[in-house]
Every structure is written in structure tokens, then in C-alpha cells.
Structure 1
Amino acid sequence: MPTSFLGSALRGTFFLIFGLWWSVRYPLKYLRRKVNVESQPSHGVHRVEFFEGAVKVFFALAGILVEQFIPAGPHLHLYSSKTHSWTDLTPWHFTTMYLFFLLSGIVDIILHTPLKLPLGLDRLSLSMALFIEGLLFCFHDDNDAALDHHLHSLLATAIFAGALSTLLEVFIRDHIILETFKTSSFLLQGSWLWQIGFVLSPPWGGPGWDQTDRSNITFLTMCFCWHYAVHLAILAANSAASRCCNESCQLTFGDIDVELDCGMCIRNGNKSSSRALLPETTLDDK
């Protein structure tokens, strides 16, 4: 499966966008759920998940159209009757991958409509899309190039890790550890797809890295671990920023309960909840 830098970078950007978004959204959701354990998902949360599904559908459709209808693309032709052979299968590999992410986005959207699909179907569809992606990358045509095969094997590791954590979310929903692990796998996929583009098809031109040099394999394995370390640092920084933002909002608004029926504001900060409001003393009472 020949790799172009632009195609690899665009696919990596898709995963980076979702990973960075989740690295902020999931910690905020966890902190707010921790404050009020009995709170149910608000209408705003449903709208966010609906929007995520729409973004997923947009990216997947754009990916399918680009893979099929670029000038060198197959234009939906899979088999050539003239040569009696398959046409270029590389775009079809990526089209298949995008197709399952498209289905995942559609499920995300339908789940928040009156059709009332079973809860967890969105996580299951995303896990299925990731498993299909990993399967396609495991059996791509690397022409016996050791470095190419090693790069995509490392990528498959990140993909299957995300697929497994997402599958567990079907049964253990809203678990911050699973959500964080899934987020880190998406970030790792995104940056590693960029790395693959730089190694195999450098944007400045040239043949790419030496496929026969074993030291390149050793270095890139270490580089894969460095990518993950950087993403863990990003997750920690975004979690800390989310906590500061959440605490700032609580200091500003969270200690005031507005009683609309009597027009009073009761501050709950450090005061005892059993303390009652006393009526003001007037001159007539003296």
C-alpha cells in the first residue's frame, strides 16, 4: 500500500482533532459528574455527541470522495474487464476504512433521535470501525519492505488498543480511565500517521528512509514510544487546564443558588446548610 504524505497527513489530522477534543471534553465531563453524582446527561451533552457524529460523517464522506475521484483514483471501478485484473486497490483500502467510520458517525447521529437505539451502540460501531482499520493496515501491501511493515505494525498496535478500550466502553460507559486510554490511542494514531508520511514520502521530495537499514527500525520503535510520552503529557496538561477551568467556574457561579420564587440569593460556600434566613428587623418591630 504506497503511502503519500498528503493522504497520511489528512488521515492523521482526523484522529488528532478527535483526540485533542476528547482530551478536554472527557476531563470536564468527569469533574462535573463528580460534583453531582446523581446528575443525568444534559441536553447539551447530547448535542455535543450529535455534533461529533456529524463531524465524523463529514470527514468520512470527504475521505471517500477524495480517494475515489482524484484524477488518479479508480472512480468506483474495482475490476478492469480489459486487463482482467483488479484496479489500484490502495484507494479501495482507504475507502473501506472511511466507510466504517461513516457508519459510526451515522449511528452517533441516529442515537440522539427519537428512534431510541440501544445505549452503547455508538461505542460498538466506533470499535468496529477501528478493528476494520487495524485489519486493513495489518494486511496492506508493503512489497516485503521491512521498514514499511514495521511502521504499520506499530500503527496497528495503537489502533487495536483504541478498539479494545472502545469495546469495553460498551459495557462500562463513562469510565474516565477507558476514555483517557481511548483518547491517547487516537492521539497516537494521528501523530504516527504523520510520522509515516515523513518517513515513507517526505513532503520535500526524495526516496524516503532506507528500507534495509535495521537501525531505522530500532530508532522508529523508540520514536513510537516518544510519541506516546508526548501525548500523555498533553493529556495531563489538558486535564489540569480543565480542572482549573471547572474550579474557576464554580468559584464564580457555583456557590450561588438563585431562588426564583422569592427572589433571594443563598450563598452556600462555607455556611451551614441548616442556617435559615431571618427577616429583616423594621422600626415597627422595636
Structure 2
Amino acid sequence: MFSSFSYLTAVPYFLRCPRTLMANFKGHALPGSFFLIVGLWWSVKYPLIYFHQKGKSSQLTHYHQRLEIIEAAIRTLFSVIGILAEQFVPDGPYFHLYHENQWVKLMNWQHSTMYLFFAVSGIVDMLTYLVTHVPLGVDRLVMAMAVFTEGFLFYYHVHNRPPLDQHIHSLLLCALFGGTFSIFLEVILRDNIVLQLFRTTLVILQGTWFWQIGFVLFPPFGAPEWDQKDEANIMFITMCFCWHYMAALCIVAINYSLVYCHLTRLKRCGGEIIGIQKLKSDHTYQTALLTGSDEE
């Protein structure tokens, strides 16, 4: 579920970048863009499916199944691209984990491990809809494991760093472990619109927060650097995190409302067309009866 859609165009830049992908502004903006794109897509997809299936069978239509397979395939593809990008930057490990009695580029290996779990999640998602004997719920379980792995890796990713750096990454863990718990509940309560939208808000939060991390740790456009040890900055970032989540909630609520209004309008227009056709049909039938009566 969580490999960057933007990585396809980002790979050439990374191949020129002499550092690990995450150690610059673009390295945070690109995965942030991915999470944001996925979250925005889910904020439209899940309400569409919910209103379409409301009052009907909970089984996905063939069209929805194909959509899920395509989405999972895209996530898998760009997870692989993310792994290759991490491994083949100019000073990357090139799939060497241990060389000359020392570990090789463990930061890159951590990021690759994160992408690996998301690739497995995408593959399992595809198998769920392609193979009938795959137990329902395994896809959500593996997705929860992938998100948990991301949080687990990030938890041990920022040790011995300045206080603001540690704090801003620790806030990201709230979204990751919250998403893990939500997705795990979907193993039991599958296709629950509340859990799906909650997961969507957390994915959007991850996307915007990756951008925020980039702006704080690697200010672009010549902006002044943040004081990494200033407690006021830590307090502001904590408050800013709450604002980001409020923005995510508003985005999901607005898209949900727009989808509802759009489908309601289409249904009303469809009902009016059917009503007009019925009136025309009744009028034609009455005319035929009158014509037949006159002939007699």
C-alpha cells in the first residue's frame, strides 16, 4: 500500500544523489507525495464503494476487483523501484550487506527493508483478488505488518540525533502505529467504512508530515535553519502535528461529502429520466388505446 507513486520520475535524481534518499528535502517530499496521493485517492474510492454497495451485497463487483488489483500492482511496482533506488545511489550498498568486516550502508538497507514489506503487501493484495483460496483478511494483516515495520524501523532510526529531529520523527510514529492498529481491526471488521476513512486520514497525515519534516530538517529555497535544541520549536512542532491531522480530517470529510452529493445528484437525474420515459411510455400506450377505440 505505501510505495511512492512519484518514485518513477524521482529515480534519476536519486541516482545522482551521493547520500541516502531520506537525507535531504526531496528525499522526504517524494515519499510524502506518495502517501498524500494514496490518501487522497482512498478518500474518494472508499466513499464511492460504500455508497455503491449500501443496501446491497457486500461483495465487490468485478469492476471494483479489477481496480483493487491495479492499485496493488502499482504499489508493488513502485516498492521495487524504491528498493532499487536505495540500493543503487552512487554510494549505495549495491545489495552488499557486509564487506571487509563492517556493515555496508545500513540506513539504505533500513529503507529497502521498509519498501520490501510494502511490496509483499501489494503482492498479497493482488493474490487476494486473483486466487480464490487465499483467506479473506490476509491482505489487511500483511498491510498492518508493513506499516508496523515502517514504524519499528523509524523508532530505531533517529537515535543519537538532535532533540527536534528525534521529536519530529517520533510524532510520525503516532500515525504509523495508529494505522497499524486500524488496519489490524480491518482483518476482523472488513469493509468497515469508519476504519477505512480513519486509515485514510492517517495516510494523508503521513504524507503531509513527511513534507513538514523536509521543511524543518532541510529548509529549501535558502530558508533559515531551525534550532534543533530550542524547546519552543519542539512545542510548536507538536501543535503543528495536530493541525496537520485536523487538515487530514477536513480533507476526508469534504471528499466524502462531495462524493455523496455527486452520487445523489446522479441518482436524482437518473430517476427523473426514468420518470420521463415512463410518462412517455404511458402516454404512448393511452394514445394507442384511444386510436384503437376510435377505429372500432
Could you say which TM-score interval applies, normalised by the shorter chain?
0.7 to 0.9
- Mapped pair 1:109 → 2:129: no
Identity rate, percent = 47
Equivalent position of 1:227 in the other structure: 244
Please give the residue correspondences for 1:1-286 in structure 2 after superposition, counting only pairs within 5 Å.
Answer: 3-34=23-54, 36-38=55-57, 40-81=59-100, 84-204=101-221, 208-253=225-270, 266=278, 280-285=288-293
Deviation per CA, 1:134-184: give whole Å up to 9, x if none: 100111143242111111110010011111111101110111110110000
Given that residues 158 and 165 in structure 2 are in contact (C-alpha distance below 8 angstroms), is that contact kept between their aligned partners in structure 1? no
Alignment-derived partner of residue 270 in structure 1: none
- Consecutive unaligned residues in structure 1, runs of 5 or more: 259-264, 268-276
Tell me the amino acid that sits aligned with residue 45 of structure 1: H
CA displacement at 1:46 relative to structure 2: 0.3
Q: Which amino acid aligns with 2:94?
A: H
CA separation in 2, counterparts of 1:279 and 1:130? Answer: 67
**Residues 186, 252 of structure 1: CA spacing in aligned structure 2 closer, same or farther, 3 A cutoff?**
same
Indicate the SS of the match to 1:112.
helix
How does the TM-score come out when normalised to structure 1?
A: 0.87
CA deviation after TM superposition for structure 1 residue 248, in Å: 2.0
Residues 200 and 209 of structure 1 are in contact (CA less than 8 Å); yes or no, is this contact kept in structure 2? yes
Question: Residue 274 of structure 1 aligns with which residue?
Answer: none
Query: Mean alpha-carbon deviation: is it higher for 42-51 or for 207-216?
Result: 207-216
Q: 1:3·1:197 contact (CA, 8 Å) conserved in 2?
A: no
**2-side partners of 1:65 and 1:208: how far apart?**
31
Q: Deviations over 1:4-34 (max 9, x none)?
A: 2121111111211110000011111122222
Decide whether aligned partners of structure 1 residues 105 and 257 sit closer, same or farther in structure 2, where only a CA change above 3 A counts: farther
What SS does structure 1 have at the residue aligned with 2:91?
coil
Distance in 2 between the 1:79 and 1:206 partners?
Answer: 39
Structure 1 residues 201 and 284: alpha-carbon distance in aligned structure 2, compared to 1, 3 A threshold: closer
SS in structure 2 at match of 1:56: helix
Which residue in 2 is equivalent to 1:261?
Answer: none
Give me the whole-angstrom Cα distance separating, in 2, the residues matched to 1:173 and 1:24.
18
* Cα distance in 2 between the residues matched to 1:205 and 1:91: 27
Alignment partners' CA distance in 2, 1:240 and 1:167: 27
- The normalised TM-score by structure 2 is 0.84
Encode CA deviations 1:65-92: one digit per residue, 9 max, x unaligned.
11100112111111121xx221221111
Query: Across the two proteins, how many residue pairs are aligned to each other?
Result: 269
After superposition, the CA RMSD in angstroms is 2.3
Greater alpha carbon shift after TM alignment, 9-18 vs 175-184: 9-18
Question: Any idea what the Cα deviations from partners look like across 1:74-116, whole Å, max 9, x if unmatched?
Answer: 11111121xx221221111110000000000111111121453
- CA–CA distance in 2 between the matches of 1:204 and 1:85? 37
Amino acid at match of 2:73: A
Q: Cα 1:140–1:39, aligned 2, differ >3 Å: closer, same or farther?
A: closer
- Once the two structures are overlaid, the 10-residue window that deviates more, 4-13 or 213-222, is 4-13
Tell me if the contact between 2:140 and 2:186 (Cα under 8 Å) persists in the aligned partners: yes
